Structure 1
């Protein structure tokens, strides 16, 4: 209804503006008021449905609310298709039959008075829990504290993150955990609201285990914006590109090794480094072959403000986030875009919209990216394990989970100038060979990486 009303109003006011009756500023102001009123109406319907515990009525409102947030950020219309709780359950059941993985869709809806947790399953009734202790005033500072305790360098050798990690787990996961176990769920697909979109979910801790030790994990902007078709990536053609040197940014000396490891694992692959890492060459390679995986080992930043402020760094240019859809990757189609050296502004609404909306904006089915800039050697460790696991894991999120578990259990570590892995050792480049022996088990090294878009 909102699109019809706002479109009609825009047309009418634009016509008046052309005739000289009102100013352009008046047109913009009227459109803003109309959009604001529609958003308030949708929010009111959502709150009413959740208050009644009516999940079937709440789901379309959640989806519409968050879809419009992404549309407003990216200045685009993703379509006006509605989706119901019953349709979502049917898709989850189909995916379970195809992959053997049982997925639950988990909505985390932050509010002034409470956190609403809604879980939808492949079968059975959905579950809804209201957590008044986790209202925005209590929740948002905890999310910020969690990220800080994971990323501040002096905390990387201790478990200072555990108390806040366990508190967030008690609010977001514990209320539905019995239902997850009863339905034998092994994959969680999170769809979350403002302030939670860059939460490092894998590092949530129940007092005994990290969440990633129990579930494969992915995050989506909205279910209606997610490509739910399934394809196995065991032998997917891969285009790996990146840079180890930059004019105005820190070098990434492990990138040549990273690209070499990927091309060794992915047999149908091509790699291009430094001067060959250009936007023109990427487009040329895609014209020659329909690569299903695109791996970009380079700096990528999700910043505050408009999408044009966020970018992926190529050798000779920056590809802005608002330009990325023009590449037409959806026509290939690209199953997976990997950005192996990302950084996202902490606690910024626009930055988290850019990150969480990466896959849909890029026109790819899924993206694998990091919430913060992980050390060069840590990124190499994660990526080497991820691609090996991708050859056997049924879904992308499970391949990532296996790689993360290998790191947290110490099976992947730095030792005597080499990266030691369960399948063999990788010699580090000279710039990193002098790094002292190091465990990569702290969640700083592995929990930043997440699947955005379809986890399948």
Structure 2
């Protein structure tokens, strides 16, 4: 059941998220049940759009800029700046409650050292290195892994990177169980941070973002990403200028992202 997209469950009339906000809890004994509001906190947003051996992610610069400078407040590090040292040093210098990583990732069954989150160049964060990142001192309230298959796992690592991050002291992690669409992820992430400002519960912010996509309120047209609410359109990079997608409502675009750990 670890690979089941719970948000996509449907009773013939409605999706589950139309009635419930959802979170997967690997272990109640590991979960931090204390509520801490995230409003007026800062986000550390890091990622890469260019890679030596993987396909580019042209939406990542727009995603990081929009999240860290418009929808939230914080710091962004892109491409050459997306290094292990910067990730470690920035969190040491300031206790960011939210860490957002937008990049490629791969979960492979078997040895933890084979699964990774891609940094700039040839460097990778391996699955067995999560505990070395110091995300429990002080605890990261929300880790967002805007990457592929970061919530996928096997019997040796329940719920993949996200599950291990929660076990290592992160309160909540938002991650994906399949290969995600670049533009669909941009739509979901911008919606998520928009609703995170307005709701008190992380799982509810995810639900509202998924509902906005399900209802067709998030579309790509005319070189812009248009979402719900009044935040305005997001201008897409030229690499995505020809993308026209007036239907991001299919569960493929939104159901893979799952909240793991505390829903609060």
Q: TM-score range by the shorter chain?
A: over 0.9
2:54 to 244, 249, 252: 249
2:220 to 407, 414, 427: 414
Q: Which runs of 5+ in 2 are unaligned?
A: none
How far apart are residue 346 of structure 1 and its match? 7.4
TM-score with structure 2 setting the length: 0.93
Change (3 A) 1:299 1:435: same
Matched, 1:301 2:106: yes
How far apart are residue 352 of structure 1 and its match? 4.8
Matches within 5 A, 1:310-329: 310-316=115-121, 317-329=123-135
Larger of the two Rg values belongs to structure:
1
How many residues are treated as equivalent by the alignment?
Answer: 261
The structure richer in helix per residue is: 1
Contact 1:303 1:350 (C-alpha < 8 Å) held by counterparts: no
Per-residue displacement from partner, 1:239-274 (whole Å, max 9, x unpaired)?
A: 000000001111110000001110134543000100
Question: Distance in 2 between the 1:346 and 1:311 partners?
Answer: 12
Question: Which residue of the partner structure matches residue 197 of structure 2?
Answer: 391
Question: Which residue of the partner structure matches residue 239 of structure 1?
Answer: 44
How far apart are residue 202 of structure 1 and its match? 0.4
Kindly report the root-mean-square deviation, in angstroms, between the aligned alpha carbons of the 2 structures.
1.8
2:235 to 420, 423, 427: 427
Per-residue displacement from partner, 1:328-373 (whole Å, max 9, x unpaired)?
A: 1101221011110122697954465425623324421111011112
1:216 to 21, 45, 50: 21
Change (3 A) 1:344 1:298: closer
Change (3 A) 1:344 1:430: same
Question: Which residue of the partner structure matches residue 157 of structure 1?
Answer: none
- Pick 1 or 2: higher relative contact order, CA cutoff 8 A, min separation 6: 2
Which 4+ runs in 1 deviate beyond 3 A? Answer: 265-268, 344-353
SS of match in other structure, 2:22: strand
Question: Which residue of the partner structure matches residue 258 of structure 1?
Answer: 63
Contact 2:173 2:260 (C-alpha < 8 Å) held by counterparts: yes
Question: Distance in 1 between the 2:36 and 2:52 partners?
Answer: 39
Question: Distance in 1 between the 2:128 and 2:183 partners?
Answer: 30
